[in-house]
Amino acid sequence: MEAVWRIEMLGWLRAIHSDLSISKFQTQRTACLFAYLALNNHRTFPREQLVEIVWPGDDPEQTRDRLNQALSWLRRHLETNGIPAGSVLISDRVQAGLSTTATVTDVQTFLALVRQAEKATDSHQKMKLLAEGVAIFKGEFLPGMHEEWIENERMHLSETLSRSLKQLIDLHEHAGDLEGAITFARRAIVNDNLDEENHFALIRLLGLTGKTALALKQFADLERILVDDLGVTPSAATLSLIDQIRGRTLPGPSADIALNLPEAPPKEKKGSSRVAGGVAKPLSRFYGREEELNQIGRAFANADRRLVTLTGSGGCGKTRLAIEYGHKVGPDIEQAVWFVALAEVTDVKYIAPNVLKALQIENHVSRPILETLSDELNKWKDCLIVLDDFDQLVPQAKWLHELLGRVPGLRLLVTSRQKLNIEGEQEVQVPTLPVPPAAAPVGEVLSCPAVQIFVDRAAAVRTGFELTEDNAEAVRAVCGQLEGLPLAIELAAAWAQTYTPTEMLQELNHRFDLLVSRRRDISPRHRTLRAAVEYSYRLLPSDLQHLFAQLSVFRGGWSVEAAEEVCGEADLREKLTALRDRSLIIAEEVADSSFRTIRYRMLETLREYVAEQLTGDEKAVLRGAHSEYFLRFVKQAEPHLRGRAQAQWFSNMALDFANVQSALRWYAEHGNVVDGLELATRLLPFWEVRGPASEGRQWLTQLLEMPGEVSPVVRARALSALGSLTWMQTDFDAAGVAHAKALEIYRELGDRHAIADSLYHLGIVALRVGEHEQSSALLRQSLEISEELNDRPGIARILLNLGNIGMDLGRSQEGRHYYERSLVIEQELRNTQRVAAAMNNLGNLAFLQGQYTLATFYLEEAIRAERTIGSRSGSAAPVANLARIARRRGEYARAAQLLLWSLNIFIEFGNRFFLRLGLVELSALLSNYGRYAEAAMALEAAEGITRAIGIPVSPSERSFHDDARRLLEENLGEEERAAASSFAQILPWEQLMLKVMEIAKDLESPTAQHLPALP
């Protein structure tokens, strides 16, 4: 379908349809909105986002009205003269955008022609496409408008135009059309008159065509511009060129030289006429990469490995690493190191001229250039050439093999987004930099290379910037959001003069708009994060571009099988390998004791960019297929999460949990309550073990409250799962309500198995609130049905809780009997989670009977079992019980370390029942240390939980409370106890817990030994 409106943004803002033209807009903001929608006519935008972009910082109520008025004005003017309503402006209460089929922009056409030219193999076709593109570029992008997103796009388009013009200059010169080259050189100066390279090219071309006077005038113009605008003088290369023109010694045009870059004046050769190289020392410091430097060194130490390729995504630091290695080895090989930039070279035959230029050697036309190069390099016993930005030359890489064959002492260090795949090559992958964990100490944060780069670059633009206690977490988070990508970190740090790290973190929601450099001394593709990513994307063939964009639907990673199912294409291994070879996705071997597999992932920065390449319809289809696949995956996994292979399946589920969460969001956003509840309900075992229970509770509550037809059985299962998660959070009233509703539905359905399940859960709710008689009755009803159905997992968990009733009531022999019976069944079933629960309870029983050695055995076995399924929440109780034993044995430092770990887990998972027990133990431990006022505060915090959740202290728990209170009463006066308790009572709960955890952390000793391996 031919576009209805042609929109021009290069030189002015205008929309044209037939004899209609729109060049004046209701307001400047309306023009800005129209330009933004036109530039991004491949997608629609949430109205809130458009308000932030067009009216940043204004009152939200007013800006919503302004947006409505602007959209109404645009609709009236765009959908007129028979153009159907809704065919151009796509707008509803949620989002707005321009139809991609009804509009076309000059920017799109320009970029499309440039992309076609990049892929063209014929030089004449490339010249034609670039000339067409340049002709479209009538002037500056949206002149007179200065919004940040416009400035960024203006810079990006100007850089693209600059590259295109330089290519046209080269292409015309090589075709023998010097006048054509001059025309484009003049246009290049109009585009960027501060770029000395543009003036150099024009001066040289004027000299070659005998226009000496014009060449000298252009030099005078350049000199004036540089002095007036930049305060500098022309480079030595330009001065040398002018001397050659004045002396009429300028060499003629050469078909061998593809780039018209300024050449350094020739240096005098000494001795054997060898010219030592060396790599220019960067002005910024280098951090980290010790392992990668060692890998390069080890590779070159092998005589058969003289070609090393540094691979990695755009902006990961390959060039900087190569330069650092050159500096490192330079002194060992008489500085026979040369750096050759190849970013603009598109044919391998032009590598040799550029290497000779680096060696400051001239080639005689009568002699093959490869012979000249080989002879010069063979003057050195050992030498190293760094070939930077080899990406576009990879298909022609065999030429390097010939060069290495001619020069035995040569080593090549190549940087590229993909391997060269030639004999003798050693790949060294350059990953992103590691980032310290959240809330890490300042010292640990500053020792991280990613953070060191940020601080160094930020200090360069903001004097006195340093890492402090106040900004350390924000700086760490910025580096973390940028995934340790050096280019992105440097671009972010450059804004330190404008933003604080905290403000910068907020701005990263629009990372491509923020991460832009205004420096002119760096490659155009590295001046913006978008340019670096876009360059990688454009190098791909169309089929890989399409797949790469489709893969953006995954979160966290994916398997081959998932990609094939979701993307609808069989046997994707070869294509995934091709994307990995180009450093666009990462392949990782994932293994534990039970399985081994290869998974793939991509950096979030890449994911955001390629997701933009999909249309709204394509995204919807992919998200639907993605959600259906992971619903099937969870259905397959659920039975195994409680069975013999649960360790493997918990690991599998953890790997894809970000994808599962994405599927939940999709179902909720699109009102698919049935599939959403199905998915959330089946995730119950995972949330129980890995947490957080709060997430599962939130999803189930939201989905149950949404309108929609849901079958009774789906609703009952969801209510049961909700009850289990609220029980974990010690919200026993809500848990009881949910399970009672589920029981009512199950009784109507006549589902005996589900009835037993609901009775069981109502029984453990009653147990927690101290209703032991009611709990026993409910559990025994459930046991009767379970035995009738021969439901052995159900029987085992009921026996465990009947044992808990016995323990609560002081009947330890009865408790042991039920615990041991439960353990035998769970061991036969190989239910690791339940085995751990039984072991913990038996350990607690042994502790109460003074059998500390036996108790330690049971508790450490419980911790080991929980660790195999990755359950930190399940490990917390046995670890806290080990802390009790350590305190009774006088091992206070060890007790403190164990107790601190478990308290943190109880708080994280919202388990106030066990948190109460932990705080009571902390109070006793503080008394053992003689810190009685703080002990009173911890005990008051425990009693505050009792008042908050309304759960009485059980008889078995009472002994711990009494022990802690006795220690206080023996050592602290009544008034002092009352004062400490009052202080704890007036503090808000969050502040009280922070204070208590600070106290616990203060007790922890780094010398504590013999700790179990904590999950």
Instruction: Please state, rounded to an integer, the average pLDDT across all residues of the chain.
Output: 84
Distance between CA atoms of residues 494 and 1000, nearest Å: 40
The predicted pLDDT at position 273 comes to 41
Q: What is the pLDDT of residues 495-520, one digit of tens each?
A: 787 788 888 887 776 666 555 544 44
What is each CA distance from 386 to 281, 358, 594, in whole angstroms? 14, 11, 44
Distance CA 1012, CA 558 (A): 33
Least confident stretch, 15-24, 385-394, 467-476, 952-961: 952-961
Residue (of 845, 867, 870) closest to 857 by Cα position: 845
* Residue 610 in this model has a pLDDT that exceeds 60: yes
Residue 772 CB burial class (10 angstroms; 0-12, 13-18, ≥19): middle
List, in sequence order, every beta strand (DSSP E) within 502-595: 586-591
Cβ contact 746:785 at 8 Å:
no
C-beta of residue 894 within 8 angstroms of C-beta of residue 1009: yes
Asked if 786 and 757 touch (Cβ cutoff 8 Å), the reply is no
Of 661 and 392, more confident = 661
End-to-end CA distance of the chain: 60
pLDDT reported for residue 845:
92
Of the ranges 131-145, 248-262, 505-519, 776-790, which is most confident?
Answer: 776-790
Distance in angstroms (rounded) separating the CA atoms of residues 79 and 212: 57
Instruction: Answer whether residue 1010 shows pLDDT above 70.
Output: no
The third-level CATH classification (topology) of the domain covering 871-1003 is: 1.25.40
Rounded mean pLDDT, 718-724: 96
Tokens encoding 24:
């004046």
Tell whether the torsion through CA atoms of 80, 84, 86 and 89 is positive or negative.
Answer: negative
Write b or e for each residue in 820-836: b if 16 or more Cβ atoms lie within 10 A of its Cβ, otherwise e. ebbbebbeebebbbbbb
Does residue 295 register a pLDDT over 80? yes
Helix axes 616-637, 542-550, angle to 10 degrees: 60
What is the rounded CA–CA span in Å between residue 867 and residue 26? Answer: 65
Residue 267 has pLDDT above 80, yes or no: no
| Both structure tokens of 936 | 């009173």
Report residue 744's pLDDT band, with 50, 70 and 90 as the boundaries. very high
The residue type of 249 is: T
- Mean pLDDT along residues 467-481: 87
Confidence of residue 522 (pLDDT cuts 50, 70, 90): very low
Contact 978, 904 (CB under 8 A): no
> Is residue 756 within 8 Å of 791, Cβ to Cβ?
yes
**pLDDT, tens digit, 9 for 90 and up, residues 217-231:** 898 888 888 877 777
Quote the CA–CA distance of 68 and 503 in Å, as a whole number. 30
In the predicted structure, residue 820 carries a pLDDT above the cut 50 = yes
| Residue showing tokens 């009835």 | 755
pLDDT tens-digit map of 842-859 = 999 999 889 999 999 999
Q: What pLDDT, on a 0 to 100 scale, did the predictor assign at position 1012?
A: 44
Q: Which has more pLDDT, 69 or 247?
A: 69
88-93 average pLDDT score: 88
SS3 state at 242: helix
Mean pLDDT of 604-619: 86
The rounded distance, in Å, linking the Cα atoms of 361 and 380 is 15
Distances (CA, A) of 373 to 259, 369, 746: 18, 6, 85
**pLDDT at 277 > cutoff 60:** no
Instruction: Please report which confidence band the pLDDT of residue 389 belongs to, taking 50, 70 and 90 as the band edges.
Output: confident
- List of residues 6+ apart from 21 with CB closer than 8 A: 14, 15
Same fold, 5-105 and 540-614: yes
Strands 14-17 and 20-22: what pairing?
antiparallel
| pLDDT, tens digit, 9 for 90 and up, residues 26-83 | 888 899 999 999 998 888 888 888 888 888 877 777 788 889 899 999 998 998 888 8
Q: Does the structure show a pLDDT above 80 at 112?
A: yes
Sheet architecture: strand order including 95-98: 45-46, 95-98, 89-91
- Answer for the pair 273, 360: CB distance below 8 angstroms, yes or no: no
Cα–Cα nearest to 684, from 724, 650, 652: 724
Q: What is the dihedral of CA 127, 131, 133, 137, to 10 degrees?
A: 150
CATH architecture of the domain 5-105 equals Orthogonal Bundle (1.10)
Over 356-399, what HEC string results?
A: HHHHCCCCCCCCCHHHHHHHHHCCCCCEEEEEECCHHHHHHCHH
Residue 81, sorted as left (phi over 0), alpha (psi -120 to 50) or beta, turns out to be: left
Q: CA neighbours within 13 Å on the CB side: how many for 131? A: 14
Checking if the pLDDT of 733 tops 50, the result is yes
pLDDT digits (tens, 9 = 90+) for 622-639: 999 999 999 999 999 988
- Domain 290-429 CATH class label: alpha beta
Q: Write out the H or E segment, with its range, that includes residue 665.
A: helix 657-669
- 482 φ, ψ to 5°? -90, 10
Assigned architecture for domain 540-614: Orthogonal Bundle (1.10)
Beta carbons of 914 and 906 less than 8 angstroms apart: yes
pLDDT at 833: 86
**Extents of the domains making up the chain:** 5-105, 193-251, 290-429, 442-522, 540-614, 791-862, 871-1003
- Residue 594: which pLDDT band, with cuts at 50, 70 and 90? low
Using DSSP's 3-state secondary structure scheme, residue 46 falls into strand
| pLDDT attached to residue 257 | 31
Fold of 791-862: 1.25.40
